[in-house]
Amino acid sequence: MLSYLKPQKTENIEKNLRVLEEKKDQMTGLLNYYCWFFKGMYEFK
């Protein structure tokens, strides 16, 4: 995933941006999962 965010070559920036935008929902769900996961760990402490 870092290759999309910080590529070695800047030839396909538009293509990489489209790919990231298509996966936006998946990334949002994953961020939401980890947010609740770490919040639960903190409150359990």
Other Cβ atoms within 10 Å of 12 Cβ, number = 12
CA atoms within 13 A on the CB side of 28: 5
Cβ neighbours for 7, distance < 8 A, ≥ 6 positions apart: 13, 16
Task: Quickly state the pLDDT bin for 9 (edges 50, 70, 90).
Answer: low
27 pLDDT higher than 60: yes
2 token code pair: 């870092």
pTM of this prediction exceeds 0.85: no
23 pLDDT higher than 60: yes
8 pLDDT higher than 70: no
Tokens 């800047």 sit on residue: 10
Cβ neighbours for 4, distance < 8 A, ≥ 6 positions apart: 16, 19, 20
Task: Quickly state the pLDDT bin for 10 (edges 50, 70, 90).
Answer: low
| pLDDT tens sequence across 32-41 | 888 889 999 8
